[in-house]
Amino acid sequence: MSPRSSRDPDRDRRPAGSEPTGPGRQAADDGERGDPEQRDHRFLGHPLGLLTLSGLEVWERFSFLGMQAILVLFFSASQADNGLGMAPGAAASVAAGYSTLVYLLSVAGGWIADRMLGSYRSVLYGGVLIACGHYAMAVPVDAFTWTGLGLISAGTGMLKPNVAAMVGKLYRATDERRDAGFSLYYMSINVGAFFGPIVTGLLGEDIDWHWGFSAAAVGMTLGLIQYLAGRRHLAGRKESAEFALPPAAMRRAVWLIVGGVLACAALCAGLSLAGALTLPGFVDALTYAAMAAPLVYFTVIWRSPRVSAAERGRLRPFLVLWLASVAFNFVLFQSYTVLVLLTDAHVNTSVFGYHVPSSWISSALGAVSVLSAPFIAGTWQRMGPRQPHASNKLALGVLLGGLGFLVLVPAVLGKSGAGWQISLVWVVLAVLFIGVGDVLLEATGLSATSKLAPAAFSSQALALWFLSLALANGVQAQTVKFYGEISDSLYFTLNGAVAVVVALAVFAVAPWLRRTMHPVH
């Protein structure tokens, strides 16, 4: 029975957007957050809502990472091959800039969910924008390409932080299934990450790039259908935000958002027509925004009167985890740019006489994550309270990410010129390290963030976590410009070393993190 239809004598005295707690809330939310004896175990020992949210992520990642796997190749392909004819370094930089914009907009998506729409509707509307963006990119016209990327960026910004927040709402903060649940959720992400590049790579590289973009559009449409079909199993589903703005402020916010979007679009169009806005300049501006946004947003949350002293204390260890995420994702996202370009130009991809599409390297990354996630989740579940602390899990993930780049150094050492090649085994080994590290870091980081987040900023804290991905991509957008300008061995050494140093620093402060990260274990 929903809260709106129940006979709750206190309903009219509660502030707008609040919900009953205890058994009433538990009944409204299908039992996911109620008494431990009544917890939902219908999906592999987890709430059934996890299946719905995981299913959505399968198709969202299928579309997003499938498209991203061929995006850098589309940018760098010659115009004779229906590409945009960019230099490899510039193509990688623009692709990284696009990813930066996606995760920057996650802040707006988190705020809209917390203050205006609620998580459920924010995810739904975000998915619609993503689907429209992919359909736009299926049209072989440059203007539709850039329009589509803008729509996908806005939609992903609304969807990503709020899906993760909805996963967190399926569990109590002290539920030992929580980390395992996020591991299963992250495994679903990588199911889509595996199949997406395979389909889009075959269509894009062998037929036409826009056929690959069309496949991504169909995938997101299927994800929306699945989400709507399973919505009754979602915890915390309601018509409005938990901390909704008052009606007058809500109207002002709507007009400000609409006006801001139109003003930005008009400004960009005007500058572009005047020749004052170049693509490299826009990417640089995104990097600066990725640096400034986390600083501003940390300050806003820290100083908010809605945040208690205890919640404020948990933001300090969260900052350490956040910086570790930046270091890891700086390496991870180069798997979709630099590793794809390396494979395309210098890796022998012939397997039993079949030429493997270069974009399938992204699928290999998803495959490693899919295969390792159940083992990792099962290990944590079997260990129970004896499992390593979240900070050590996360640090290990960062370490593996750095080693993923360092393992390539012996293979490319001393190589120069245009005709050299290395064995595919080296790239597969790099992907193995990075893929396992990805599961360790992201599943643990999402779970920890959902527990450390102040109650009034539940979705926005997840958006803040995704700002670490924005900063990682913003920094990458600048460093990938050096790819091809310096030796490959030096490039991979410097990038991998950054992640290794950060991992060792997190291991060093682990005792302090264990003391300050309550209720995270």
Other C-beta atoms within 10 Å of 18: how many? Answer: 15
Instruction: Tell whether omega for the bond before 519 is within 30 degrees of 0, i.e. cis.
Output: yes
Torsion of CA 389, 394, 399, 401, to 10 degrees: 150
Closest-CA residue to 241 (of 157, 155, 162): 162
Q: How far apart are the first and last CA of the chain?
A: 34
- Asked whether residue 270 is assigned to any structural domain, the reply reads no
> pLDDT value at position 135?
93
- Asked whether residue 137 is assigned to any structural domain, the reply reads yes
Torsion 444-323-484-420 (CA) sign: negative
- Asked whether residue 22 is assigned to any structural domain, the reply reads no
User: How would you label 108-138 residue by residue, b for 16+ Cβ within 10 Å and e otherwise?
Assistant: bbbbbbbbbbbbbbbbbbbbbbbbbbbbbbb
Amino acid at 521: H
The full 3-state SS of 92-135, as one line of letters, equals HHHHHHHHHHHHHHHHHHHHHHHHHHCHHHHHHHHHHHHHHHHH
Classify 351 as helix, strand or coil.
strand
> pLDDT value at position 7?
37
Other C-beta atoms within 10 Å of 7: how many? Answer: 7
Q: Are 92 and 341 in contact (CB under 8 A)?
A: yes
pLDDT under 70: residue ranges of the chain = 1-45, 173-174, 176, 235-243, 276-277, 459, 518-521
CATH of the domain at 417: 1.20.1250.20
Question: In residues, how long is the chain?
Answer: 521
> pLDDT value at position 26?
38
**Read out DSSP for 183-218?**
HHHHHHHHHHHHHHHHHHHHHHHHT-HHHHHHHHHH
User: What is the number of structural domains in the chain?
Assistant: 1
> pLDDT value at position 106?
79
- Asked whether residue 252 is assigned to any structural domain, the reply reads no
Q: Are 49 and 234 in contact (CB under 8 A)?
A: yes
Enter the DSSP assignment of 414.
T
**Read out DSSP for 219-236?**
HHHHHHHHHHHTGGG-TT
- Asked whether residue 7 is assigned to any structural domain, the reply reads no
Torsion 302-308-311-312 (CA) sign: positive
Other C-beta atoms within 10 Å of 14: how many? Answer: 12
- Asked whether residue 454 is assigned to any structural domain, the reply reads yes
> pLDDT value at position 316?
87
Q: How far apart are CA 155 and CA 220, in angstroms?
A: 11
Stated pTM of the model: 0.75
User: How would you label 160-195 residue by residue, b for 16+ Cβ within 10 Å and e otherwise?
Assistant: bbbbbbbbbbbbbeebbbbbbbbbbbbbbbbbbbbb
Amino acid at 37: E
Q: Can you give the residue range of the structural domain that contains 118?
A: 44-243+275-516
Enter the DSSP assignment of 40.
-
pLDDT digits (tens, 9 = 90+) for 337-358: 899 889 888 888 888 777 888 8
- Asked whether residue 263 is assigned to any structural domain, the reply reads no
- Asked whether residue 283 is assigned to any structural domain, the reply reads yes
Q: Are 516 and 316 in contact (CB under 8 A)?
A: yes
